[in-house]
Amino acid sequence: TLNLMITVGLVQANIKTNEVIANFKHYEEIIKRDLTKPVNLIVFPEMYTAGFSEDMYAEADPMNGRGTEFLIRTAQQFQCDVVASMPVLQEGKLFNRLVWMTQTRILGYYDKRHLFFGEDQFTAGTRKTIVETLGGKFLPLICFDVRFPEWSRNHCVNGRFDYDCLVYVTNFPAPREEMLTKLAVARAIENQSYVLVTNRVGYDGKQRLHNGGTAVIDPSGNILAAAEPGQQMVVADLDFDALAALRKKFPVADQWE
């Protein structure tokens, strides 16, 4: 059988408030410094272009703006898929939009469904997006979504699961960082899925401190790789064959509603 293994790189960075170009330059530096081998997927934190601040309209772009341009440039440079969320303006509405970029095009996008308290400038999304790429199926979600298990519920029909990997781009502040890990571990176990969590570090534009907590979690809830404090790229392998074997050996999905 085909040994299906992919390598992911999660970028934990300090996002400078409203300094889009400086942030892009900084991300490139972190990747080049920490990239130990080719990766198939790079994931940046939530609001990766300019972070959260009091006026979210100030740094918002149209869908084909600076945020997506940098994603495709990065995808081509490192020959992989790239994921991040950013403030996107569409028909006068502001969305916290996650974009999944391949080397040639946007494969899918997702607007944050569960808006955190104070994100009232944004319009909530209404639909989930499952992205099929790199030999697996991915459900990308954003930050506060991790608290709502029904929104990430995996389903299994005739042995076919909705997805194999949950991807959370986040800005979880320091006081709730441990909670983020616990929630992400729970999502992995209950859905028999890998979970990727990419969080930021440093202060945002509302003076909230973030300490990271970026991690790769396996379908049994084990942490395969976790960031140290500070800025870095966490690189880990996902083994989709091992995932299939686990699902077969422990067929909990047969009793899912």
Q: Which residues are catalytic?
A: 46, 112, 143
Q: Which two tokens stand for residue 38?
A: 């080719």
Which residues have CB under 8 Å from 254's CB, separation 6+? 156
- The helix-helix angle for 20-34 and 66-78 (nearest 10°) equals 20
SS3 at position 3: coil
Residue 17 to residues 14, 104, 226, Cα–Cα distance (Å): 9, 29, 25
Tell the burial category of 136 from Cβ atoms under 10 Å away from its Cβ (0-12, 13-18, 19+).
Answer: buried
DSSP labels, 25-80:
HHHHHHHHHH--S--SEEEPPTTTTT---S-TTTT-B-TTSHHHHHHHHHHHHHTS
**Closest CA relative to residue 139, chosen from 202, 193, 175, 102:** 193
**Distance, CA of 252 to CA of 171 (rounded, Å):** 32
Instruction: Write out the E strands in 147-200.
Output: 156-157, 160-161, 165-169, 194-198
